[in-house]
Structure 1
Amino acid sequence: MAEKKKTKASNVIVWAVLGLLILALGGFGVGQFGGSLSSVASVGDREITVQDYATAIQGEQRRLQQQTGQALTLQQMQVFGLDRAVMERLLATAALEEEAETMGLSVGDAEVAERIRNNPAFGGIAGGFDREGYTFALRNAGLNEARFERQVRDEAARELLQVAVAGGVQVPDTYSATIASWLAETRDATFAIVSVADLDGGALAPSPEEVQAFYDANQALFQTPEIRNITYAWITPTDLADAVEVDEDRILARYEELASEFRQPARVLAERLNFRDQATAEAALTSIAAGETDFDTLVEDRGLTLDDVDQGEIAAADVDEAVASALFALEEPGIAGPVATDLGPALYRVNAILDATETPLEDVRDDILAELARDAATRRIDAARDDIDDLLAGGATLEEIAAETDMILGTIAFSDQSEQPIAGYDAFRAVAATVAEGDFPELESLSDGGLFALRLDGIDPPATPPLARIRAAVEQAWQEDTTARRLSEAADALAARIEAGETFAEAGLTAETVTGIARDGRVEGISADLLSRLFEAEAGRVLAAPGNANRAYVLRLDAVNAADPEAPDTAELLTAIETQLRGDLTSDLFDAYGQAVRADIGFEVDQQAVQAVQSQLLGGH
């Protein structure tokens, strides 16, 4: 059966986003640890549940994979001590939550609701909050609404505690100025390109003996990867979505279900800065009106950033009546307040006023249709899972499975370089890389709700083709290698002549001078590595470096330019450095505070419970 092409991409689909959320919450096979096992550690009266620990471990695995591009197993994490680091973070978080509760720090229901509504993972087709999707995502992640909302409230309380502990951190002026001066230094340089035309005899052609010698010495360069010849059967919701018929009444009903997303009330984009009392808030407003200060300065003076005070989009229903009256009384962006809030009197800066909007059905019909069709296709695949499993258990071949079900048969010569659509799924790659000849095909899940099963038909081991078959490639590799070596040697010789006193012209080179090269700057054609060497050299030094197979460089450092403290760019850099350093110091201070709190409250770790969770996670892989 011909393989179907997988190139059609869906539009914004709610369930796909919710599926990613479920992954982020660790909702696959985490919640059933059985028996009386409920927690792995405790800090004071606060427990760290097995679900919390398993979710954190899986979240760390996903974070590391995103950063490195490689999936780490739990065993590899244990070797590097990453599992212990996860536990340390959970203990610190629990200690800070316990401390915040002891101190009576909390936020109101309105703040919790606002954070949940503004979470894009709970967004529907039109981007607004999807109540049904919220419930669905939490249920599939093994959470209930009360528990998740308690987590949101605890997180908000920790943020309040962090502002209280580390909000006034300042960076020493000399420290930030020294870093800024170092970063803002520039260089002036003269450089020239050494090309193949500058080599004696130009490009060379290899003799048969040289080709043979190069092939014999560099066989690994021409080796083909191991090829795993695989037959597979698979199906995805995309394969079935086009064949699913969706009634127009169902599209209209879904549109009405999501009416709150398609009919947005008037909103404002605002920031909030709280004050300890009404008099202080009114004094700040007076200073702003008089032009003596501004909102940004007030935020900075408190050791905060604009991210700390950002409230996002606010509708009248999201806040207390007094706050809504102040915000929506403005006819244009500006300052509102002081107004009473749960955290004391506050000034709001309204940055934009958004009119109420309504999205007609015709604008979102295709998106709703795609969502419903994909949902129906996913349910159809789920319903077929048991039947396909039964066929495999009964000894049916993949060819027979494809003939009797919606699954599609295909073959792949699998390696790390495979680019067929099914090779883009991590789950398929993991099984394909480890399956052995004779293994019975098993039904596996794909990240988009699809299914697959595969069979290893044979393995072609890595091999170097005979020279006769790849002679052209060997000759090209020899030429590139030889030319690069000759260019590097020529550049070294020319650099030595120039450093000894010759000009670029006397050395037969056409030079170009570039001034004001920044430390993170770029010069067309010159590698970042060579520019980095330039910033390590002394004025007058001449450097030589390879470029690519067809060129090399000779470069002279003409001048080292100190940073101009009065330049606007330097001032901006200094501000950015101070912000970064303040963030780092704040984080370090808060971490130290968390450790002290944990030590004061006391904690216990149940190593047997930890090992039990890890064993189940290992078993799940």
Structure 2
Amino acid sequence: MLQSIRSASQHWLGKIVLSVIFTFLIAGVAIFGVEEFFRGGSSSTVVTVGKTPISAEEVRTAYQNQLQRYQAQMKRTLTPDQARAMGLERQVLAQLVTEAALDQKTTDLGLAVSDAAVLRAIQDEPSFKNANGTFDRTLFYQTLQRAGLNEPMFVREQRSVIARLQLADSIVSELPVPQAVREAVHRYSTERRAAAVLSLAPSAAGEIPAPTDEELTAYYDNNKASYRAPEYRSLNLLVLEPEALAKPEEVTEEDARTAYQANQSRFGKPERRTIQQISFPDEAAAKEARARIESGEEPFEAVAAARGLDPKQLDLGTLAKSELFDPAVGNAAFALEQGKVSEPVKGRFGTVLLRVTAIEPGSIKPFEEVKDEVRKEVALRRVRESGFDKAQDAIEDARAAAKPLAEIAKERGLTLATIPAVDAQGNDPSGQSVTGIPDKETTLPAAFRADVGNDTEALRTKSGGAIWYDVVKIDPSREKTLAEVRDAVVQGWTKAETDRRLVAKSKELTERLEKGEAIETLAQETGLPLKEVTEIGRSQSKDDLSPEIVERIFTTPVGKAASAPSGDGRAVFRVTAATMPAFVPGTTTDGQLVNSLRTALADDVLGEFISEVQKSAGVKVNQTAFRRALGGEY
């Protein structure tokens, strides 16, 4: 959670540090090798980096935080198997090791961060600032509370983060970018080429006769894997969604009206007001300023300017009442007449004068028009708060009693989905996508890991429901006979023969161009379409040229010819020109390139430094303690 708080910083070096750490997360145990990475250590300490220990609690907390972030992003629950397949435990461990290694290095070098520097960093953090752009202590504590942190913990961690950034800054700050590198990148990115291109459509291969039985059999024998039937599974699925348990008819009109009143803004467009605000040190100063405004002695804007407010800072924006952070300000602003100046308002962040410059009327649908929708929402909320867990527990009890899903579905009035045959990609034997499988990306992998008769665990759906599944039958993958796939094999053989002839023809034309024949002559002789293409850039599409052709054009010397695939056909071309603008050091473009390359170089240098720091400090991981910290699931 701390990482997400401090990631709000836009410091370029901070981004590099996080980027490098992410690289080590992916690398995981590859940094040290598996045997060295998982060795030795006390039973109470999971990792020791130099003299810095990492406790089981730290590992457990970091793992749970990372797991929660992934689940929030993916909007579904991850099973231990799925988390392990993602390498989540190694990512967390590598992150902790990297941070501990940097902390060890800052300690060895005697780097220290003053209390004033930590305080300044916290006060400058955007996450802790209110709408006025000033540090808000209440918001600070609320943010830490949501993150599960207290002030000493956060200050201690922030001190470490600042020290790491200072260490990194001393290593990669103002790295020189050699001119030779800038010239090479400039040449690569700005070079433009021109080419004369002959297009060979599949028809250029001529008429392809039907294959003989021997040719077809030989082609099939060499490509059997392409015509193999995948494994198919027959499944029974019982899906329980909160919507299926909700009973809107049981919601009384009184309860529905109460819910409607509490959420009226959802049933239309709320009133919005354009609000201006001037802050004052106390109520007396605000009253004096209001008196000058009301008497016409000084306009509102002049009072704001005298308080040092830029005209852009005067407007809070056009907001609904619910969007105003300060209730006192919201109540006062929405009680004002347009163009009037409020009495002094004591808000959370001081005393203010308000003025409303525009009002956008709201429009709310009446209760009678939305009562059915409200009843559904109330019923659904009640199910999610209590009823769903009870229903899920009842189904789990029935499963424990060995009742089949069909019987459970019948008893509880739920629909059982029967899938006769589906492969791991979600298709039936005819190749059509199978419908009726909820959350396929979660359900199918789980079903294809299970076996017939397995006692499977329920899966959580994206919408908060649950899926129980049984594997009824497995048809293993098999080789299809030639008779079953004859039409597809004929099609494949024809395509392969067409490609072979096009390759041969393009080779012949390329050889003739290399011998000096004009491409215009070849186009006239063969009847193939010819086009001149200019201003071709690397990795850019141009005049329907395929990526393969563009790449080949840039690897072919000027004046030379070559060929490349082009959709279903091929293309033969001669490179006619190559141009690039001159490289001029010191230009705006060169400056932008320097900044970009410096960031990339800093990334590499810092990555090497972190790797060396870890190796020199020494890393020991107690595998047993590591598994225990994660609940024995690894």
Which TM-score bucket, shorter chain as reference?
0.5 to 0.7
- 1:29-55 deviations in whole A, cap 9, x for unaligned? xxxxxxx96865578778551224424
2-structure distance, mates of 1:83, 1:403:
45
Q: Give the C-alpha shift of residue 237 in structure 1.
A: 4.0
Partner of 1:85: 94
2:488 pairs, out of 473, 481, 488, with 473
The farther-off stretch of 596-605 and 352-361 is 596-605
Could you tell me which amino acid in structure 2 is paired with residue 218 of structure 1?
N
Q: Matched residue of 2:521: which SS? A: coil
Partner of 1:411: 418
1-structure distance, mates of 2:73, 2:262:
42
2-structure distance, mates of 1:45, 1:215:
62
Unpaired runs of at least 5, structure 1 = 1-35, 119-128, 269-323, 333-349
2-structure distance, mates of 1:256, 1:101:
51
Q: Give the C-alpha shift of residue 471 in structure 1.
A: 3.1
- 1:319-356 deviations in whole A, cap 9, x for unaligned? xxxxx999981114xxxxxxxxxxxxxxxxx8x96514
Q: Matched residue of 2:633: which SS? A: helix
The 5 A counterparts of 1:100-499 are 102-104=113-115, 105-107=117-119, 111=123, 114-115=126-127, 143=148, 153=158, 157=162, 161=166, 165=170, 168-172=173-177, 174=179, 175-200=181-206, 202-237=207-242, 247-253=256-262, 329-332=309-312, 355-358=317-320, 362=364, 375-379=381-385, 380-405=387-412, 407-412=414-419, 413-418=421-426, 419=433, 420=435, 422=437, 424-499=439-514
- 1:568-589 deviations in whole A, cap 9, x for unaligned? xx96754443232222344455
Are the aligned partners of 1:228 and 1:459 in contact in 2 as well (CA < 8 Å)? yes
Are the aligned partners of 1:542 and 1:555 in contact in 2 as well (CA < 8 Å)? yes
Q: Give the C-alpha shift of residue 516 in structure 1.
A: 1.9
| RMSD after superposition | 5.1
Q: 1:441 to 1:597 in 2, by over 3 A?
A: closer
- 1:297-317 deviations in whole A, cap 9, x for unaligned? xxxxxxxxxxxxxxxxxxxxx
2-structure distance, mates of 1:97, 1:492:
63
Partner of 2:342: none
Q: Give the C-alpha shift of residue 197 in structure 1.
A: 3.4
Q: 1:590 to 1:165 in 2, by over 3 A?
A: farther
Q: Give the C-alpha shift of residue 398 in structure 1.
A: 0.3
Q: Matched residue of 2:559: which SS? A: coil
Q: 1:354 to 1:610 in 2, by over 3 A?
A: same
Could you tell me which amino acid in structure 2 is paired with residue 515 of structure 1?
T
- 1:114-134 deviations in whole A, cap 9, x for unaligned? 42689xxxxxxxxxx999997
Could you tell me which amino acid in structure 2 is paired with residue 554 of structure 1?
V
2-structure distance, mates of 1:265, 1:604:
60
Q: 1:511 to 1:526 in 2, by over 3 A?
A: same
Q: 1:533 to 1:613 in 2, by over 3 A?
A: farther
What is the number of equivalent residue pairs in this alignment? 483
2-structure distance, mates of 1:452, 1:502:
69
The farther-off stretch of 413-422 and 492-501 is 413-422
Q: Give the C-alpha shift of residue 382 in structure 1.
A: 2.4
2-structure distance, mates of 1:250, 1:451:
27
Could you tell me which amino acid in structure 1 is paired with residue 444 of structure 2?
R
2:538 pairs, out of 519, 544, 550, with 519
Are the aligned partners of 1:191 and 1:511 in contact in 2 as well (CA < 8 Å)? yes
Q: Give the C-alpha shift of residue 171 in structure 1.
A: 3.6
Q: Matched residue of 1:532: which SS? A: helix
Could you tell me which amino acid in structure 2 is paired with residue 498 of structure 1?
L
Partner of 2:557: 538
Q: Give the C-alpha shift of residue 514 in structure 1.
A: 1.3
1-structure distance, mates of 2:407, 2:308:
66
Are the aligned partners of 2:49 and 2:101 in contact in 1 as well (CA < 8 Å)? no
Q: Matched residue of 2:556: which SS? A: coil
Are the aligned partners of 1:233 and 1:407 in contact in 2 as well (CA < 8 Å)? yes
Q: 1:474 to 1:377 in 2, by over 3 A?
A: farther
- 1:81-128 deviations in whole A, cap 9, x for unaligned? 86763443342465589788644431459748742689xxxxxxxxxx
Q: Matched residue of 2:166: which SS? A: helix
Are the aligned partners of 2:439 and 2:461 in contact in 1 as well (CA < 8 Å)? no
The farther-off stretch of 52-61 and 223-232 is 52-61
Partner of 2:18: none
| TM-score, length of structure 2 as denominator length | 0.62
Q: 1:116 to 1:42 in 2, by over 3 A?
A: farther
Could you tell me which amino acid in structure 1 is paired with residue 551 of structure 2?
S
Q: Give the C-alpha shift of residue 410 in structure 1.
A: 0.9
Q: Give the C-alpha shift of residue 357 in structure 1.
A: 0.6
1-structure distance, mates of 2:141, 2:177:
51
2:625 pairs, out of 601, 609, 615, with 609
- 1:2-24 deviations in whole A, cap 9, x for unaligned? xxxxxxxxxxxxxxxxxxxxxxx
Q: 1:538 to 1:596 in 2, by over 3 A?
A: closer
Are the aligned partners of 2:216 and 2:493 in contact in 1 as well (CA < 8 Å)? yes
Are the aligned partners of 2:264 and 2:364 in contact in 1 as well (CA < 8 Å)? no
1-structure distance, mates of 2:271, 2:164:
32
1-structure distance, mates of 2:129, 2:412:
41
Are the aligned partners of 1:106 and 1:156 in contact in 2 as well (CA < 8 Å)? no
Q: Give the C-alpha shift of residue 492 in structure 1.
A: 1.0
Q: State the identity as a percent.
A: 20
1:552 equivalenced with 2:570 (yes/no): yes
Partner of 2:59: 50
1-structure distance, mates of 2:129, 2:471:
48
Are the aligned partners of 1:162 and 1:590 in contact in 2 as well (CA < 8 Å)? no
Q: Give the C-alpha shift of residue 182 in structure 1.
A: 2.5
Q: Give the C-alpha shift of residue 391 in structure 1.
A: 1.0
Q: Give the C-alpha shift of residue 180 in structure 1.
A: 1.9
- 1:179-217 deviations in whole A, cap 9, x for unaligned? 2223222211111101233334x3443345544443343
Partner of 2:346: none
| Bigger Cα Rg | 2
Are the aligned partners of 1:225 and 1:461 in contact in 2 as well (CA < 8 Å)? yes
| TM-score, length of structure 1 as denominator length | 0.63
Q: Matched residue of 1:221: which SS? A: helix
Q: Matched residue of 1:554: which SS? A: strand
Q: Matched residue of 1:522: which SS? A: coil
Q: Give the C-alpha shift of residue 606 in structure 1.
A: 4.9
- 1:562-619 deviations in whole A, cap 9, x for unaligned? 333369xx9675444323222234445555776788899998755542243356233x
1-structure distance, mates of 2:237, 2:521:
67
Q: Give the C-alpha shift of residue 546 in structure 1.
A: 2.3
Q: Matched residue of 1:252: which SS? A: helix
Could you tell me which amino acid in structure 2 is paired with residue 543 of structure 1?
A
Q: 1:47 to 1:471 in 2, by over 3 A?
A: closer
Q: Give the C-alpha shift of residue 511 in structure 1.
A: 1.7
